Amino acid sequence: MRIQRIQAIAISLPLIKPVKMSFEEVRNAENVLARIETDNGITGWGEAASAPTMTGETQGSMVAAIRHLADKLEGLPADDIPAAMHRAGQYLYGNNSAKAAIEMALFDALGQARGKPVYELLGGAKRMRVPALRLIGTGSTAGDIAETQKRLAEGYVAIKIKVGVDTPEADAERARAVAASVKDDKVLICTDANQGWTPDEAIRFVKGIADTRIEFFEQPVAAHDVAGMARVAAASRVKIGVDEGLHSLDDLRHHHQLKAALGASLKTIKLGGLQAVHDAALLCEELVMKVNLACKIAEAGIASAGLMHLAAAIPSVDWGVSLSSPYLADDIVAEPIALSGGYINVPTGPGLGIRVDETKVRRYTREV
Ligand SMILES: [Mg+2]
């Protein structure tokens, strides 16, 4: 089985409602699909969100990167994914999100060819059902509490409060109020500042939430400021997690060495694919770091399926699984990954276990 053709497709999907984060408000998901045809008639799909503030890649640059790599990879064996991705790395430095879309499509094609779900290709399933971590970011304390109560009533057992949008004191007050509104002490509560603060501001925030049962606080300061992360971690009773600052296994080791994080948010777009996330999860286990597995707001049904195969296969997902397709008003797969009572089931069909609706892909395709 050989790679015959690789296409890059830019899509823009509407969100049900905007998600507010420290620098930006996300209204549309601007993602890139990789569509790979093999010489034996299989079509594999991959997807990656554009997240310029996190990865430095835009939708246009991702499309360009996939097109740049297409003729270097076409003709290679489709069943040797490490060899194909090694070749991609030789021809193009960085561009992990574009590479993640290609690699996911190769996993989908290989799984279909072998009649196996992707989690089998990643070493087998340890679980087939995981709790979904639900984002809370309405822009007000009353709104956040109402949203939290609504989601808990639906069966969610994990919530993440977006902070870094107001002063540290105001956001700590809001996070405290939301956490206090959760009566079930088995519910996982965490916060994420998306690099929104300076170390001093973040320390004011962690002091404000010290006596809550918030489990962890993600990326308080700028991605590159690992020393700043370590300062916040030293001042915090709540565990600190790294997200935007993590782009390689070396970044994970660096945060661990400097005591800058006790857990990590693993995303294919940052690390460059399913295999890299799997490797990072194994390293987290070795370093005794917690794992949050996440899609970027808002990857659709293809990347969400990829995430679920990882959720099945990696050693643990103690800090939750952040699926982003539920935030979308429409999807490009025939049966979007379903949530039932706040839990997500791992797809079981061959490859990613999804059926891409190419009519919808064309409807949401945009020129970049
Ligand atoms: Mg995050």
Is the previous residue joined to 298 through a cis bond, with omega within 30 degrees of 0? yes
If you measure from the C-alpha of residue 219 to the centroid of ligand 1, how many angstroms do you get, rounded to a whole number?
7
Question: What is the distance between the alpha carbons of residues 102 and 330, in angstroms, rounded to a whole number?
Answer: 23
Query: How many C-alpha atoms does 126 have within 13 Å on its Cβ side?
Result: 10
If you measure from the C-alpha of residue 366 to the centroid of ligand 1, how many angstroms do you get, rounded to a whole number?
27
- List the alpha helices (DSSP H) in 292-351: 301-313
If you measure from the C-alpha of residue 24 to the centroid of ligand 1, how many angstroms do you get, rounded to a whole number?
13
Tokens for 277? 């996330």
For tokens 């945009």, name the residue: 366
Question: What is the distance between the alpha carbons of residues 275 and 237, in angstroms, rounded to a whole number?
Answer: 33
If you measure from the C-alpha of residue 288 to the centroid of ligand 1, how many angstroms do you get, rounded to a whole number?
20
If you measure from the C-alpha of residue 20 to the centroid of ligand 1, how many angstroms do you get, rounded to a whole number?
12
Looking at residue 24, what is its pLDDT? 72
Partners of residue 46 on adjacent β-strands = 34
If you measure from the C-alpha of residue 367 to the centroid of ligand 1, how many angstroms do you get, rounded to a whole number?
28
Looking at residue 297, what is its pLDDT? 85
If you measure from the C-alpha of residue 120 to the centroid of ligand 1, how many angstroms do you get, rounded to a whole number?
28
If you measure from the C-alpha of residue 292 to the centroid of ligand 1, how many angstroms do you get, rounded to a whole number?
9
If you measure from the C-alpha of residue 192 to the centroid of ligand 1, how many angstroms do you get, rounded to a whole number?
6
The architecture in CATH of the region 121-345 reads Alpha-Beta Barrel (3.20)
Angle at 298 between CA 359 and CA 209, to 5 degrees: 165
If you measure from the C-alpha of residue 294 to the centroid of ligand 1, how many angstroms do you get, rounded to a whole number?
8
Question: What is the distance between the alpha carbons of residues 75 and 71, in angstroms, rounded to a whole number?
Answer: 8
Tokens for 152? 């808990």
**Model pTM score:** 0.96
pLDDT, mean over the chain: 96
Same topology for domains 3-115+359-364 and 121-345, yes or no?
no
Tokens for 78? 């489709």
If you measure from the C-alpha of residue 147 to the centroid of ligand 1, how many angstroms do you get, rounded to a whole number?
19
If you measure from the C-alpha of residue 70 to the centroid of ligand 1, how many angstroms do you get, rounded to a whole number?
31
Question: What is the distance between the alpha carbons of residues 263 and 28, in angstroms, rounded to a whole number?
Answer: 29
If you measure from the C-alpha of residue 132 to the centroid of ligand 1, how many angstroms do you get, rounded to a whole number?
15
If you measure from the C-alpha of residue 36 to the centroid of ligand 1, how many angstroms do you get, rounded to a whole number?
30
Which among 58, 64, 79 has a CA at the least distance from the CA of 2?
79
User: Could you state, in order of their start, the residue ranges of all structural domains in the chain?
Assistant: 3-115+359-364, 121-345
If you measure from the C-alpha of residue 112 to the centroid of ligand 1, how many angstroms do you get, rounded to a whole number?
32
Name residues of the chain where pLDDT drops below 70: 21-23
Cβ–Cβ under 8 Å, residues 315 and 286: no
CA-based end-to-end distance of the chain: 31
CA torsion sign, 12 to 13 to 17 to 20? negative
Looking at residue 21, what is its pLDDT? 67
If you measure from the C-alpha of residue 182 to the centroid of ligand 1, how many angstroms do you get, rounded to a whole number?
21
Looking at residue 50, what is its pLDDT? 97
Which among 276, 260, 287, 262 has a CA at the least distance from the CA of 314?
276
User: Which uninterrupted H or E stretch holds 228?
Assistant: helix 226-235
If you measure from the C-alpha of residue 83 to the centroid of ligand 1, how many angstroms do you get, rounded to a whole number?
31
If you measure from the C-alpha of residue 277 to the centroid of ligand 1, how many angstroms do you get, rounded to a whole number?
15
If you measure from the C-alpha of residue 21 to the centroid of ligand 1, how many angstroms do you get, rounded to a whole number?
10
Tokens for 126? 């340890």
If you measure from the C-alpha of residue 102 to the centroid of ligand 1, how many angstroms do you get, rounded to a whole number?
23
What letters, b where the CB count within 10 A reaches 16 and e where it falls short, cover 184-199?
eeebbbbbbbbbbbeb
Which among 129, 132, 128, 148 has a CA at the least distance from the CA of 320?
132
Chain segment 82-130, per-residue pLDDT in tens: 999 999 999 999 999 999 999 999 999 999 999 999 999 999 999 999 9
If you measure from the C-alpha of residue 218 to the centroid of ligand 1, how many angstroms do you get, rounded to a whole number?
6
Q: Which listed CATH number (3.40.640.10, 2.40.110.10, 3.30.390.10, 3.30.365.10) goes with 3-115+359-364?
A: 3.30.390.10
If you measure from the C-alpha of residue 169 to the centroid of ligand 1, how many angstroms do you get, rounded to a whole number?
20
Chain segment 195-233, per-residue pLDDT in tens: 999 999 999 999 999 999 999 999 999 999 999 999 999
